[in-house]
Structure 1
Amino acid sequence: MSTLKLMKVLFRLKSFSRLSSLTIFLNHCDNDLGHIYQIIFHLPFLKYFKLNILEYENVNFNLSIATDNEFSFIEYLVIHHHLNLNKLTDILSHTPQLTHLCCFNVTESKDDIKSETLLKLNNLVHLTITVHHLTFDEFEEFLVKLSSQLKILSVTIKNSEKNYLNGFRWEHLISQHIPYLNKFIFCYTDIIDNDLEIKPCRTLINHFTSPFYLKKQWIFKIFVNNDEIIYLMRPSSYI
């Protein structure tokens, strides 16, 4: 289905006054993705929305920050396409009722991060996110401003700086800004090549095995899988 046909279908969905769940799969997107989100946010009873786009690297996306009368009632949002942090911020300005957020390809923004416009999501308890080429400073600021009510946080980091491997920094972030967190899943993947600098394992283990992590029963492991090295933190119940 072309994006234009999809938008026609979405306009018709407005007549389904009790539509509460919607999942969309696209092979590619040839129009402005912001138009799709604008229609979705005007479906009055929608609680769950998932958008999966296979070819998403060069998606056009223009979506303005929500005004007071543009809020959606979506509570569970799954974003499975390329998205920079500023565009994610624009989306979240429309969804103040979110309890669960999953986004699987978040990258750095070429423009300055619009963290000052990020709406605090006081109902958000579950965040699953995969980031690419995003600095820890930017990601940390995003987390601090997003929600202090998080209970489950799952973070996958790819092709990003090694500051993410600072266990003491994660400890401070969680203890000071996400105090209700009880499940933390952390996966950092690095490619093994001639330029790889492996941080001493003893230092890493010390960072991620402090009394803070032991009390939480979060277990840190290191795996080597073919040409990748994987640093993994997860609850002991997942082992």
Structure 2
Amino acid sequence: FLLPYLKKVELSTRRNSLIISLPINTYEQYSHIKHSIIKHVCHLKELIALLSYTPLLTHLTCLELSKQYQDIQRIESIMIPNLTRMTLNMCCIQFDEFEVFIEKICKQLRILNIDKIQDVDYLNAIRWEQFISKHMLYLRIFKLEYDEYHYQPLELTSYHSQLNQFTSSFSINRGWFFQIAADIDY
């Protein structure tokens, strides 16, 4: 990572995941990477360690962000002031952990895309509104995709009724739109 002319990096593996054992950067040695694409499962702890070496990062794309048993509350904040775009193709961490990650690492995001989520707490529009209003003041583009696959007849649950909250004045005033699709295959 410490190559001075390297501006973009893509990390991939033939396996489903790659364990990267890097300590948090405490030596103030950093790379000039501005764009990082991680094309494998990345544990939250590993991602934070990688980010500690890339304070000039502006764009981050991660195939899948997952949790590796660690208390995220104990992780130190890392300053990455230029990180304005983040795309998570699949987010497998709980919403509580995601909130802490954003607060500690990248609250200056302008564009956030989360393509697939597994925790239904992400569907709480009021919680998003409160979180964005307090911790993501620069956010301009927000895309959240939630997929459900039904192999039985669809049964509406309490969190389905929460989806209407995404059409609040908070979202409308920002020009955000909400789209939902259900794939029923039975």
Structure 1 distance, partners of 2:184, 2:119, is: 21
Alpha-carbon distance, 1:131 to partner: 3.6
Q: Which residue of 2 aligns with 1:199?
A: 157
Which of 166, 172, 183 aligns to 2:130? It is 172
Structure 2 distance, partners of 1:171, 1:127, is: 19
Structure 2 distance, partners of 1:108, 1:93, is: 18
Alpha-carbon distance, 1:97 to partner: 0.7
Structure richer in strand, relative to its length: 1
Alpha-carbon distance, 1:86 to partner: 0.5
Q: Normalising by structure 2, what TM-score?
A: 0.89
Structure scoring higher RCO (CA < 8 A, sep ≥ 6) equals 2
Alpha-carbon distance, 1:168 to partner: 0.7
Aligned Cα root-mean-square deviation (Å): 2.2
Which of 44, 52, 64 aligns to 2:12? It is 52
1:84-127 per-residue CA deviation (whole Å, 9 max, x = no partner) reads 10110110010111111111111011222265324121111111
C-alpha change, 1:227 and 1:171, in structure 2 (3 Å) is: farther
SS at match of 2:179: strand
> Contact 1:107–1:133 at 8 Å: present in 2 too?
yes
Q: Which residue of 2 aligns with 1:232?
A: none
Which of 143, 164, 185 aligns to 1:185? It is 143
Structure 2 distance, partners of 1:218, 1:116, is: 32
Alpha-carbon distance, 1:195 to partner: 10
Structure 2 distance, partners of 1:140, 1:133, is: 13
> Contact 1:115–1:145 at 8 Å: present in 2 too?
no
Q: What is the one-letter code of the residue matched to 2:177?
A: I
List gaps (5 residues or longer) in structure 2: none
| Structure 1 segment 1-239 matched on structure 2, within 5 A | 41-57=1-17, 59-113=18-72, 116-158=75-117, 160-193=118-151, 198-200=156-158, 201-205=160-164, 207-227=165-185
C-alpha change, 1:145 and 1:82, in structure 2 (3 Å) is: same
Alpha-carbon distance, 1:73 to partner: 1.1
Q: Normalising by structure 1, what TM-score?
A: 0.70
SS at match of 1:140: helix
> Contact 2:34–2:56 at 8 Å: present in 1 too?
yes
Q: What is the one-letter code of the residue matched to 2:9?
A: F
List gaps (5 residues or longer) in structure 1: 1-40, 229-239
Q: Which has the larger radius of gyration?
A: 1
Amino-acid identity (%): 35
